[in-house]
């Protein structure tokens, strides 16, 4: 195995190659070094033990591990064993499996269990060239997420602090690794707060290993510090995309490929709700499947490579339409101007109208959930409110860790709820989940954090008081279109009308259609303003559909831009 010498300068990420044949291994390593240059340090290992030592050393000296490439069968073990160790020690590390014909069954198992990001069937000639496309894709994705600012992040706060929850949730869905210090019961965290001279009660504090400390930061401040956003630098763009979910990112990539100047305005992290717990098993070209977060960050890396600007942690608050110069107002007081605008703001969770909810929001009452949160509920009592697949899946995930889980559904039974049969069967077989039908959350109580959830039974009007420290609300979604009210036509439910629907429902238009032509494909009631994805009326609420809609909308956008005069 190559011996690594410490470098006093910038830490270069590691790429590790495992192969049992020395000549092929050395040739592949040399080719990779020539291909990657000084951006990555390429090391070689002959087996699992050597690789484990190299990985342990890299972690010990703070060297990021970007990629591991390994044969399935090695002299002292298998790639599956190695990848399991890598996933536990460095979750962000990408993994490529090289599979010989005799390893087909093991390879399929690895793909099914999502233990690999890519695989290459051998023999593959020429190996280096066949492999480089995968390497570039994965390293580009890794660099977009972790290469811009390889800062260590620590979060110091209270378990049920609203600001701590928001920060941890944002970091988790942005795939930023961080260390959590709980001031509630962790002596080490309390000692750290004293060393920092923090007041009591202490604000949620984010520590970066370059010496900076952010006290009670907003998400916008945190995103800027971690280089997860960039300012909109042009006076006017060809296209302003509002919403960085699947539809918005798809449109941004397609528009940039057509030579347009594009900026994406996103109020959160890449992917929107898709960056949470979504697992995409039917996405063409990814036999191992990929998570919503993986998809979103891959798409963002692709968009940035094509020149798209990413303006995140900014909330669009209004739209001032003006031919050739539509103005999108943001919550920080700035304005982004586009010759055209695509609305791709998707859906948001339906708010729970019950006493106490707003007071305890993010302090025990949460909308949606992430996988990372489930592990924090060990030994706690959890209530999940909702009747769909999202609520059912959440109940199953929390049951792996929480002391008890209560699933509250409005329907008279789980069979009548909008839960697929497979999830319903798994819930019925899970002893840690109690299903309470024909019921809804009537009230929540607590001082500074959730303590009680009051259930209201629809048929009898009776109540039941549950002791709970966490309530997760997944009672459906509504279109995120309020910022366009009285500007762009919407249907009775808040979905944005486009193309033929604009002409068919003139009574819903805030102002008459101003062009002699009919609305273009995906165009709203405002010429030059388009919509795609779940926020669009009549759309199929699927990630794959949103991706297609975003790309297709660019055809209409291109026609609109071509119709503008040079003065516009």
Give me the chain's average pLDDT, please. Answer: 87
Contact (CB, 8 A) for 423 and 394: no
Look at strands 41-45 and 433-436 and give their pairing: unpaired
Peptide bond into 184 cis (omega under 30): no
Structure-derived torsion over alpha carbons of residues 177, 181, 185, 191, reported in degrees to the nearest 10: 160
CA distance 348 to 54: 45
Instruction: List the structure tokens of 122.
Output: 């051998």
- Helix H, strand E, coil C: the string for 481-508 is CHHHCCCCCECCCCCECCHHHHHHCHHH
144-163 pLDDT tens trace: 566 544 557 889 999 889 99
Residue 510 sits at φ, ψ, to 5 deg, of -60, -30
What average pLDDT does this structure show over 340-358? 94
Look at strands 439-445 and 452-457 and give their pairing: antiparallel
pLDDT for position 327: 97
* DSSP letter, residue 415: G
282-298 pLDDT tens trace: 666 666 566 666 777 77
Among 496-505, 518-527, 536-545, which stretch is predicted with the lowest mean pLDDT?
536-545
- Among all chains, which residue has been given the structure tokens 């342990």? 56
Q: Kindly state the percentage of the chain with pLDDT values over 90.
A: 49
CA distance 251 to 5: 45
What average pLDDT does this structure show over 364-386? 89
pLDDT level of residue 392 (50, 70, 90 thresholds):
very high
The set of residues, in sequence order, having a beta carbon less than 8 Å from that of 18 and lying 6+ positions away, is: 25, 44, 45, 46, 47, 48, 51, 68, 69, 70, 71, 74, 79, 82
pLDDT at 565 over 60: yes
Q: Which residue in 386, 344, 274, 388 sits closest to 498, CA to CA?
A: 344
3-state SS, residue 253: helix
Computed from CA positions of residues 295, 301, 303, 309, in that sequence, does the dihedral angle turn out positive or negative? Answer: positive
Peptide bond into 123 cis (omega under 30): yes
Q: Which of 87-101, 267-281, 441-455 has the highest mean pLDDT?
A: 441-455
pLDDT level of residue 462 (50, 70, 90 thresholds):
very high
* DSSP letter, residue 523: B
Largest Cα span, the chain: 77
pLDDT for position 512: 92
Instruction: List the structure tokens of 227.
Output: 């280089």
What average pLDDT does this structure show over 543-562? 92
pLDDT for position 289: 61
- Helix H, strand E, coil C: the string for 57-88 is HHHHCCCCEEEEEEECEECCEEHHHHHHHHHH
396-419 pLDDT tens trace: 999 999 999 999 999 988 888 888
209-261 pLDDT tens trace: 778 999 999 999 999 998 889 999 999 999 999 999 999 999 999 999 999 99
pTM of the predicted structure, to 2 decimals? 0.76
Looking at per-residue pLDDT, the higher value among 161 and 185 belongs to 161
What average pLDDT does this structure show over 187-198? 90
Look at strands 439-445 and 41-45 and give their pairing: unpaired
pLDDT for position 401: 93
pLDDT at 96 over 50: yes
pLDDT level of residue 511 (50, 70, 90 thresholds):
very high
CA distance 492 to 479: 11
- Helix H, strand E, coil C: the string for 17-51 is EECCCHHHHHHHHHHHHHHHHHHCEEEEECCHHHH
Among 76-80, 163-167, 246-250, which stretch is predicted with the lowest mean pLDDT?
76-80
3-state SS, residue 329: strand
Looking at per-residue pLDDT, the higher value among 274 and 117 belongs to 117
The region that residue 490 occupies, defined by phi over 0 for left and psi between -120 and 50 for alpha, beta otherwise, is beta
pLDDT at 33 over 80: yes
294-344 pLDDT tens trace: 777 778 888 888 899 999 999 999 999 999 899 999 999 999 999 999 999
pLDDT for position 11: 64
């Amino acid at each position: 195995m190559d011996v690594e010498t410490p470098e006093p300068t910038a830490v270069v990420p590691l790429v590790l190659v495992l192969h049992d044949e020395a000549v092929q291994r050395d040739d592949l390593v040399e080719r990779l070094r020539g291909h990657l240059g000084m951006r990555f340090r390429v090391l070689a290992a002959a087996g699992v033990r050597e690789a484990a030592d190299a990985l342990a050393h890299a972690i010990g000296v703070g060297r990021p591990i970007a990629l591991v490439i390994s044969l399935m069968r090695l002299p002292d073990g298998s790639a599956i064993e190695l990848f399991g160790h890598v996933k536990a020690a460095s979750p962000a590390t990408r993994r490529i499996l090289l599979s010989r014909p005799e390893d087909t069954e093991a390879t399929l198992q690895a793909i099914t269990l999502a233990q690999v990001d890519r695989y290459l069937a051998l023999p593959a000639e020429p190996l280096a060239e066949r492999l480089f496309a995968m390497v570039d894709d994965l390293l580009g994705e890794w660099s977009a997420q972790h290469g811009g600012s390889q800062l260590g992040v620590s979060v110091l706060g209270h378990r049920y602090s609203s600001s701590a929850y928001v920060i941890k949730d944002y970091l988790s869905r942005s795939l930023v690794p961080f260390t959590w210090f709980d001031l509630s019961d962790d002596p080490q965290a309390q000692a750290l707060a004293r060393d920092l001279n923090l007041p009591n009660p202490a604000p949620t504090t984010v520590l970066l290993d370059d010496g900076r400390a952010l006290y009670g930061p907003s998400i916008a401040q945190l995103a800027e510090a971690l280089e997860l956003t960039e300012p909109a630098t042009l006076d006017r763009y060809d296209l302003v995309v509002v919403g960085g979910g699947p539809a918005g990112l798809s449109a941004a990539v397609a528009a940039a490929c057509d030579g347009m100047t594009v900026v994406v305005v996103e109020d959160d992290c890449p992917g929107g709700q898709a960056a949470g717990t979504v697992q995409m098993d039917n996405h063409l070209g990814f036999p191992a499947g990929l998570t919503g977060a993986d998809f979103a960050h891959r798409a963002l890396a692709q968009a940035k490579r094509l020149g798209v600007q990413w303006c995140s942690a900014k909330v669009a608050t209004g739209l001032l339409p003006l031919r050739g110069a539509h103005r999108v107002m943001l919550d920080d007081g700035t304005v982004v101007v586009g010759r055209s605008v695509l609305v791709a703001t998707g859906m948001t969770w339906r708010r729970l109208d019950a006493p106490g909810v707003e007071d305890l929001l993010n302090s025990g009452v949460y909308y949606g959930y992430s996988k990372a949160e489930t592990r924090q509920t060990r030994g706690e009592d959890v209530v999940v409110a909702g009747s769909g697949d999202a609520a059912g899946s959440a109940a199953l995930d929390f049951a792996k860790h929480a002391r008890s889980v209560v699933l509250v559904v409005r329907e008279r039974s789980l069979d009548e709820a909008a839960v697929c049969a497979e999830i319903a069967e798994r819930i019925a077989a899970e002893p840690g989940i109690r299903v309470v039908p024909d019921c809804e959350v009537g009230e929540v109580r607590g001082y500074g954090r959730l303590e009680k959830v009051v259930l209201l039974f629809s048929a009898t009007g009776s109540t039941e008081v549950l002791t709970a420290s966490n309530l997760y609300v997944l009672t459906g979604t509504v279109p995120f279109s309020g910022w366009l009210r009285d500007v762009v036509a919407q249907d009775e439910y808040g979905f944005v009308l486009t193309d033929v629907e604009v002409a068919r429902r003139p009574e819903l238009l805030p102002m008459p259609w101003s062009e002699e032509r009919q609305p273009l494909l995906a165009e709203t009631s405002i010429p030059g303003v388009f919509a795609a994805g779940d926020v669009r009326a009549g759309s199929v609420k699927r990630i794959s559909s949103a991706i297609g809609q975003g790309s297709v909308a660019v055809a209409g956008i291109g026609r609109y831009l071509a119709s503008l005069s040079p003065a516009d």
